[in-house]
């Protein structure tokens, strides 16, 4: 998708402005470093103020004008809220490598026999993973629920817990011998990571410029070599 810039008059090199963005720590990990570098290079006087909320909370903040845009997985957008797909994401599993020395991964039976860490940034405890497991006639045993992706890997270290989460959030663990990262032992649908904003800002040239930078930052990480999952 290409966002068309609005009327001329916005000069990034000299503009002074603060933008309010919302995203999870996963979104910050995957998109924010590239975005900030691009913004600092082209518009050194533009500031980014990043907050975090549930997906419902971020959607409401965009609709109410509390923030300029939000990045995340959004299943519903109220009237007036626009969206652009940033990339398609898949799931991966991670465990302490010492607990899978022989196989490097878990089969379906072993997966369901273990307890799990659940990353839940919204109010629903039942996520897409649990829905898929339920279709197999199983149920995950949740040992810990956390709202942040960044802390989750540390919670499985030295335990037999399983973390199933967005693949890109586990990229660093793929190179860490303490962890084993592998594809889930059952089918899981990919999901879309998107940017949302309100139509009231559609024609704002500065806002359109920033949306272009977000799209470019997402596209640059999308082109990188993905981690190689076992299984």
Cβ neighbours around 1 below 10 Å, total: 9
Q: Where are the domains of the chain?
A: 17-88+191-219, 91-182
Mean pLDDT across the chain, nearest whole number?
90
Q: Identify the band that residue 122 occupies on the pLDDT scale cut at 50, 70 and 90.
A: low
Q: Identify the band that residue 123 occupies on the pLDDT scale cut at 50, 70 and 90.
A: low
Residue 136 to residues 37, 90, 98, 127, 183, Cα–Cα distance (Å)? 44, 19, 27, 15, 17
Contacts of residue 121, Cβ cutoff 8 Å, sequence gap at least 6: 24, 52, 54, 55, 72, 147, 148
Which pLDDT belongs to residue 224?
Answer: 53
Which pLDDT belongs to residue 10?
Answer: 86
Which pLDDT belongs to residue 226?
Answer: 45
Average pLDDT (106-113) is 97
Same fold, 17-88+191-219 and 91-182: yes
Average pLDDT (32-58) is 96
Which pLDDT belongs to residue 222?
Answer: 63
SS3 category, 87: strand
In contact, 174 and 227? CB cutoff 8 Å: yes
* Fold held by 91-182: D-Maltodextrin-Binding Protein; domain 2 (3.40.190)
In 145-204, alpha helices (H): 152-156, 171-174
Instruction: Give the alpha-carbon dihedral of 190, 191, 194, 200, to 10 degrees.
Output: 140
* Fold held by 17-88+191-219: D-Maltodextrin-Binding Protein; domain 2 (3.40.190)
Distance of CA 171 to the CA centre of its chain: 13
Rounded CA separation 20/4 (Å):
21
State pTM to two decimals: 0.85
∠ CA 114-120-123 to the nearest 5 degrees?
125
**pLDDT of 2 above 50:** no
Which pLDDT belongs to residue 150?
Answer: 86
| pLDDT tens digit sequence for 133-148 | 999 899 999 999 998 8
């Amino acid at each position: 998708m290409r966002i068309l810039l609005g009327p001329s008059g916005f000069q990034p090199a000299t503009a002074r402005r603060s933008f309010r963005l919302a995203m999870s720590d996963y979104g910050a990990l995957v998109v924010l470093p590239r975005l900030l570098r691009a913004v600092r290079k082209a518009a050194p006087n533009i500031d980014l103020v990043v907050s975090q909320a549930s997906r419902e909370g971020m959607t409401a903040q965009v609709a109410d004008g509390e923030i300029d845009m939000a990045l995340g997985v959004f299943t519903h957008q109220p009237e007036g809220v626009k969206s652009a797909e940033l990339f398609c994401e898949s799931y991966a599993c991670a465990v302490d490598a010492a607990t899978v020395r022989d196989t490097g991964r878990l089969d379906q039976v072993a997966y369901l026999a273990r307890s799990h860490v659940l990353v839940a940034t919204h109010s629903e405890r039942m996520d897409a993973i649990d829905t898929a497991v339920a279709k197999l006639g199983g149920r995950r045993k949740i040992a810990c629920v956390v709202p942040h992706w960044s802390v989750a890997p540390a919670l499985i270290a030295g335990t037999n817990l399983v973390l199933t989460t967005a693949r890109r959030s586990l990229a660093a663990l793929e190179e860490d011998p303490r962890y084993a990262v592998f594809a889930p032992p059952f089918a899981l649908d990919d999901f879309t990571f998107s940017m949302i904003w309100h139509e009231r800002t559609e024609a704002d040239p500065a806002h359109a410029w920033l949306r272009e930078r977000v799209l470019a930052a997402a596209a640059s990480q999308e082109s990188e070599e993905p981690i190689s999952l076992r299984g």
